[in-house]
Amino acid sequence: MSSPVTELPSYLRATTDAYDALAVRYAELVRGALDPLPLDRAVLAAFAELARSAGAGPVAELGCGPGYVTAHLRDLGLDVFGVDLSPVMIRLAREAYPGLRFEVGSMDALDLADGRLRGIVSWYSVIHAPPQEMPSYLAEFRRVLTLGGTLVLAFFESEGGPVEPFDHKVTTAYRWPIDALAAVAGEAGFAEIGRMLREPCEDERFRRGHLLMRAR
Ligand SMILES: C[S@@+](CC[C@H](N)C(=O)[O-])C[C@H]1O[C@@H](n2cnc3c(N)ncnc32)[C@H](O)[C@@H]1O
């Protein structure tokens, strides 16, 4: 299903090691994270409805971390599994949600047949891709999605500024202008369905961007 994480480029090795080291703390921090966020849940509900209309096939949360978004998608009625680079994250996700499937793998090289998925959620996980790698991540998402399949990207928005790295608590991450990320997805074979921008909540630093895209 997902590719074994063996020979990784150095930036993926750094991401894996950083999340492995902080996985337990991260999982505690994000427990119940969606509860106070109605707009975020609305995006996921829209995704679920659109994915259901895209025909047969499972959906995947890529970069699932401890798995609470995957479990939320399951609760929305989807046949869903999670993939993450970090073996510790995957162990925690399996322990927390024993009825769900979670696999170690990298979302830029998925062990999935072309067109296998009807939906992909990347919830704050492409944020760690170096900007020059983003086109190949999105090309891989397009490859494994069926025609008409739905993609959600959640990310930190750069509020008109350029794509820029910031001091994410775990490892280097990048903020994207929503138009720039939509354009990269467009070049990879996606048409925009809609977008949601929301202002940071009390304990957040940056505006949050959400793109809903359809594989064309
Ligand atoms: C900020 S966390 C988000 C986790 C979860 N989606 C959430 O919302 O809490 C980013 C996650 O993406 C994973 N990740 C980063 N790059 C990845 C890649 N190339 N393939 C798979 N997972 C990746 C990390 O290991 C980490 O668990």
Cβ burial of 94 (10 Å; 0-12, 13-18, 19+) is: middle
Examine the pLDDT at 2 and tell me if it is beyond 60.
no
Any atom of ligand 1 within 6 Å of the Cβ of 89: yes
CB 134 within 8 A of CB 142: no
With the most atoms of ligand 1 within 8 angstroms of its CB, the residue from 8, 11, 13, 15 to mutate is 15
CB 60 within 8 A of CB 120: yes
Ligand 1 atom with minimal separation from the 64 CA: 6
CA distances from 29 to 22, 80, 94 (A): 10, 23, 18
Any atom of ligand 1 within 6 Å of the Cβ of 122: no
In the beta sheet, which residues pair with residue 175? 164
How many other C-beta atoms are found inside a 10 Å radius of the C-beta of residue 37? 15
Give the per-residue pLDDT at 8.
87
Give the per-residue pLDDT at 6.
60
CB 148 within 8 A of CB 214: yes
pLDDT confidence of 204, banded at 50, 70, 90? very high
Examine the pLDDT at 7 and tell me if it is beyond 90.
no
H-run or E-run covering 168:
none
CA distances from 68 to 2, 98, 123 (A): 19, 12, 11
Please indicate whether residue 196 or residue 5 has the higher confidence score (pLDDT). 196
- Residue 15 Cα to ligand 1 middle (Å): 9
With the most atoms of ligand 1 within 8 angstroms of its CB, the residue from 31, 128, 174 to mutate is 128
d(CA 30, CA 57): 28
HSE on the CB side for 175, CA within 13 Å? Answer: 16
What does the mean pLDDT of the chain come to? 95
Any atom of ligand 1 within 6 Å of the Cβ of 124: yes
Examine the pLDDT at 101 and tell me if it is beyond 80.
yes
pLDDT confidence of 168, banded at 50, 70, 90? confident
Give the per-residue pLDDT at 145.
97
pTM: 0.95
At 137-163, the pLDDT tens digits run: 999 999 999 999 999 999 999 998 899
H-run or E-run covering 193:
strand 190-198
